[in-house]
Each structure stands twice: as structure tokens, then as C-alpha cells.
A and B are shown apart, each in its own frame.
Chain A
């Protein structure tokens, strides 16, 4: 019965390919396919889409949340930090963004917290010749139960003066594909990820001029730290 049904459908399809109306269907098919590909070509030639993601060269996903800046919790939009008109040869000094994902119960996060606090001040001083770098910490809950009180305590314990975003429900971490802490990202002013500490070879950074990855040389162990990535990438096309 079933085979008979399939057979009938097959016969019908066969007759549709050869009957006298087949040319009407193929003519219509040629017309609409031409229109479809013409539409696709127009879109393809007038745009240059960039994938959203957290690998270098991708557009960092936007996120919103509540941030603690030392005075209290307020709303935060990652998009507000960006300058979408920025290019590698912009004369304006738009700030870059360093994003750190941390867990207040993670040992490595505690270990690196003083350094990160120091860098956040160092890269916004007059002595630093490059563009300012805004630091943002995204506090997740991977290891053990955490709370906003713990986030506030952690921030003040290490004298960090930058904002801590509440991501205890790890929604931002999921969107940024972060599964371990600490994880660091350096984002260009236009929102493109320039460096990702989780990427297989983190000695690779994004060159906006060449629109390709570039090697961050000079590190014997092949492991690049956030400050080293900042120093190389923000200064990459200076003087061109």
C-alpha cells in the first residue's frame, strides 16, 4: 500500500516533468530564479557582512545588564561603549574595550585581579601613548554560589575602579561562549573582537587594516596576556 503510494507519487512527478505544461513551470522557474539571484547579487555586492561572535575578527555580541561602579547598581549597555564609525585610520581617539569574565570564587581570577586593576589605570593615563582602554568585568557564577554582595566585596578587595556587570545567571557568558574564568577579550572601538584569550592560539590578534589575523610576536612561551595584547594591537597601525 505504502510502496504503491510512493510509486504513484513518483509517476506523478515524472509526468509533471514531461507533460505539456512542464515548459510553463520551467519558464516560471527560470524567471523567479533569475530574480532571486539578481537580488542576492545586489545584496552581495553592496554589503560586506561580519559574523557575530567572539573569535577574532567577529563582531562582539551586544549585552545589557546591571553594573556596579562603586556607587551602586545601574543599567549598562555594551553598545554604548562603541564607536561604530571607527576605522583603523581614524584620527579620533576612541577607546578600546577590555572585557574580563571572572568568578569571585575562582582562584586564578583572584590571582590576576591586582594586575587587571593596575592595567585599567595604566591604559587611561597621559603617560600611555595609545588610545584609552575601558575595562569591564563580567561577574559569572561557575564555581560556587555567588551574590551581588560578593561581587561588591571582590571589587573593593582588589581596588578595581572599573565596572562589574552582574552575570550571575551566566546569560552573557553563554552568548560570549565563555566556559572558564578568567577569560579576557580585547574589543576594538567599532565592536570587532581584536583578541580572545580563549582562542586556541591566543598569540593571534585582529589587524583591522588588513582585515586578517596577525601574529603577536615576541613572547617566548606563546601565551599572551591581556596587557601584552593591548600594547601590540592598539598600536598596530600607528604611524601609517
Chain B
């Protein structure tokens, strides 16, 4: 299958999640209402959207790890003469692992999105838990911590004069997840988290 066809599948999952997080996503969320009643609330919608976003981030990161391994075998997975070229970046041994742990960036992405997804699922399962603000701040902190990493990777792209589409999708996903956690943070700080309860009366 063409690499961009595969990328569009990851992109569709992420875009669906991002759309679900917006106020316009309420129409789409109605398809989940009977199976997942929590999606009838704005909080439920944002959490469901974030789950799709993090899932898309995880799958696209897993794909970059797969590409990393394939490139080491000598294969070409996303090359070409245009500026859009993964081989020159994921296959470049000077840039394709993190400088601290020497692990492929795809694996780092998988771990990061797994952690974010754990935060989201835990919050969705027990939204009224006393630890919920801790997990929201955890997700927010993790996505903010991803920004300097993204800046480093973009600097590699600038240095090589190439853009890795798969990596870029993973970077954008981190930013969307950051926005999602920020929406949750603001919601938790207001009465919109559980409109039936005032913030002061939550446990």
C-alpha cells in the first residue's frame, strides 16, 4: 500500500478525534450515545476525542518505528526527490534516535502517547476522582514537555532541508492533545466539568 494512503488512515483517526473535541463534534458524538452515555456531555465528548487523537498519535509513532527498522534493513519506505522524504530523516543515523537514551523517536512517541492515553482513559472512567486534576495536569505537562522535543526534531528537518510527513503528523497530534488537555483543565476549573454539581460540592 502507498505510504501516503497509510498516513491518511492515521490522519483520519486524529482528525476525527480533533473534530469530536470541538463544539461542532456534538452531532458526531450522538452515534456513541447509546453505547457510551458519557459522550452526551461536553466533557465526555472531549475525552472521547482525545482518545482518538492519542490512538492516532500512537499508531503513527508505531509506523515511524517500523520505518526506522525497515530503513536499517536497507529498504526505502518513504523516499523521493521532493522535500517530503522520511528516508533521509528516519534513516539518518545522526538524527533518528534521541540523544539521551539512544532510542528510536518512534518508540519515544509510542511511549508518550501510551502515557497520554492512560491519563485520558483513567479520567474518563472516574471523572469525579480526587486524582482527576493530577492526571489532567500530568497530560498537560507531558504534552508541553513534548514541545521542545518537537522543536529539536523540526531543527533536524530544517538542517536536512526535508520534511518527514509521518513525523510531522505525530508532532501535530501532540499539539492537538495539548489543546485537548488544556480544554479539560479549563473545564475542570469551571462548573462545566459536572454541570449537575457545583465545583465546590465535588469530592
**Partner-B contacts on A (CB < 8 A):** 16, 21, 24-25, 27-29, 31-33, 35-36, 39-40, 42-43, 46-52, 59, 61-62, 82, 84-85, 190-191
Which residue of A25, A51, A62, A84 is within 8 Å of B75 (Cβ)? A84
Q: Which A residue sits closest to B111, measured CB to CB?
A: A36
Q: Which residues of A contact B73 (CB under 8 A)?
A: 47-50
* Interface bin, chain B: 20 to 34
Whether the pair A47, B122 counts as a contact (CB closer than 8 A) is no
**B 64-84 contacts with A by CB, 8 A:** 65-66, 68-70, 72-76
Which residue of B69, B110, B131 is within 8 Å of A49 (Cβ)? B69
Which of B12-20, B113-121, B176-184 is the interface stretch? B113-121
Whether the pair A48, B62 counts as a contact (CB closer than 8 A) is no
Which residue of A21, A50, A85 is within 8 Å of B129 (Cβ)? A21
**Partner-A contacts on B (CB < 8 A):** 55, 58-59, 62, 65-66, 68-70, 72-76, 92-93, 110-111, 114-115, 117-118, 121-122, 125-126, 129-131
Q: Which B residue sits closest to A42, measured CB to CB?
A: B62
Q: Which B residue sits closest to A192, measured CB to CB?
A: B74
Which residue of B66, B93, B115, B131 is within 8 Å of A61 (Cβ)? B93
Describe B's contact surface by its main secondary structure: helix
Q: Which residues of A contact B92 (CB under 8 A)?
A: 62
Which residue of A16, A31, A35, A51 is within 8 Å of B131 (Cβ)? A16
Q: Which residues of B contact A47 (CB under 8 A)?
A: 66, 69-70, 73
Q: In the assembly, what is the distance between CA of A62 and CA of B110, in Å?
A: 27
Q: In the assembly, what is the distance between CA of A190 and CA of B118, in Å?
A: 42
Q: Which A residue sits closest to B65, measured CB to CB?
A: A43
Identify the 5 closest CB pairs spanning chains A and B, nearest first.
Answer: A47-B69, A28-B121, A24-B125, A49-B69, A84-B74
Q: In the assembly, what is the distance between CA of A29 and CA of B93, in Å?
A: 33
